[in-house]
Amino acid sequence: MNICILSTNKKLYSTRRLVEAAAERGHDVRVVNHLRCYMNIASFKPSIHYNGEELERFDAVIPRIGASVTFYGTAVVRQFEMMGTFCLNESVAISRSRDKLRSLQLLSRKGIGLPVTGFARSPGDTSDLLNLVGGAPIVLKLLEGTQGKGVVLAETRKAAESVVEAFRGINANFLVQEFIKEAKGADIRCLVVGDRVVASMMRQAQEGEFRSNLHRGGSATAIKITPEERSTAVRAARIMGLNVAGVDILRSNHGPVIMEVNSSPGLEGIEKATDKDVAGMIIDYIVKHAKEGKTRTKGRG
């Protein structure tokens, strides 16, 4: 197969591993920086250009779109879709997953376990909003944060009110969420490929920190998940429309709750913690499922 990986940096661990896994299996693979792609949106023959030339046709595209460039990155992925190229995760699904509110709304409709979460805009609602999710301690999250940035724990009601005021002051959209204390700073990352959890790890936050992100010094170990966690992760990825996803779950005293679903999950932490060839499993999935014209969006978004 002729596989294209959209990534801004060839040297990133996940990109390198995907290149390696594809090459090991005898595929042609090319890393293309989506930020340097430009597009021709002409009727009937959409095309993508790169470094002064038109890109060749690929059998499959693996988007690795960073959160800071979602808009441009998904436009490039969508252009591949318009050309009928199979994209491992589609543009609509990537956009959905990048918006925490939209994701939670979609998951809640299907009855997936979630932390009690609220969203509001006008300053008059603060008190009732905090009551809605059970009062302090409370977690406040910027809608488009990643790697733990923009996630705040307010231990008291006063602190929560101040953070709400600050976020409102800068016109930021944010969620307020029940603090799952019983998770004790740990969450579970399930790597879903197709309809299987192929690897899972527990991430434990550093001493004195509640955010378990590896970027914030969390540590990862392989973990055996329960059948309920497994089916929750697989269902969440499916609801978001993602073929490959990193689904983050907290163990709450009302069962597994989903925190977020990531569309470009990092491979380094999970491969090292579990010793599994996740990149290889992603390539195998593509070989089995990639077909020309099989994109679901078909221009109808």
Cβ neighbours around 291 below 10 Å, total:
11
Token digits of residue 25 = 């299996």
211 touches ligand ADP (CB under 6 A)? yes
Q: Scanning the structure block, which residue is given the tokens 């197709």?
A: 194
* Binding to ligand ADP in span 125-144, by CB under 6 A: 139, 141
213 touches ligand ADP (CB under 6 A)? yes
In the complex, minimum distance from the CB of residue 38 to ligand ADP, in angstroms, rounded to a whole number: 30
N- to C-terminal Cα separation, the chain: 27
- Considering beta carbons, is residue 22 or 151 the nearer one to ligand ADP? 151
Helical packing angle, 100-109 and 91-98, nearest 10°: 100
Integer Cα distance of 87 and 77 in angstroms: 7
Among 76, 183, 192, 201, contact with ligand ADP (rule: CB under 6 A) = 183
180 touches ligand ADP (CB under 6 A)? yes
Stretch that binds ligand ADP, among 29-37, 148-156, 158-166, 219-227 (CB under 6 A): 148-156
174 touches ligand ADP (CB under 6 A)? no
233 touches ligand ADP (CB under 6 A)? no
Among 2, 147, 162, 226, contact with ligand ADP (rule: CB under 6 A) = 147
Integer Cα distance of 262 and 246 in angstroms: 5
Among 145, 161, 173, 204, contact with ligand ADP (rule: CB under 6 A) = 145
151 touches ligand ADP (CB under 6 A)? yes
Integer Cα distance of 218 and 205 in angstroms: 4
H helix intervals, 62-202:
70-82, 91-98, 100-109, 126-132, 157-169
- Considering beta carbons, is residue 90 or 248 the nearer one to ligand ADP? 248
In the complex, minimum distance from the CB of residue 144 to ligand ADP, in angstroms, rounded to a whole number: 9
In the complex, minimum distance from the CB of residue 205 to ligand ADP, in angstroms, rounded to a whole number: 6
In the complex, minimum distance from the CB of residue 185 to ligand ADP, in angstroms, rounded to a whole number: 6
- Considering beta carbons, is residue 55 or 205 the nearer one to ligand ADP? 205
146 touches ligand ADP (CB under 6 A)? yes
* Binding to ligand ADP in span 83-112, by CB under 6 A: none
Cβ neighbours around 251 below 10 Å, total:
18
271 touches ligand ADP (CB under 6 A)? no
248 touches ligand ADP (CB under 6 A)? yes
User: CA angle 7-62-80, nearest 5°?
Assistant: 95
Which phi and psi (to 5°) does residue 218 adopt?
-70, 155
In the complex, minimum distance from the CB of residue 136 to ligand ADP, in angstroms, rounded to a whole number: 13
Integer Cα distance of 219 and 221 in angstroms: 7
Token digits of residue 226 = 């329960």
In the complex, minimum distance from the CB of residue 107 to ligand ADP, in angstroms, rounded to a whole number: 13
Integer Cα distance of 297 and 79 in angstroms: 11
- Provide the strand spans (E) within 56-212: 60-63, 86-87, 117-119, 138-142, 151-154, 174-178, 186-193, 196-204
219 touches ligand ADP (CB under 6 A)? no
Helical packing angle, 227-240 and 100-109, nearest 10°: 120
Q: Which residues bind ligand ADP (CB under 6 A)?
A: 115, 139, 141, 145-149, 151, 177-180, 183, 187, 205, 210-213, 248, 250, 259-260
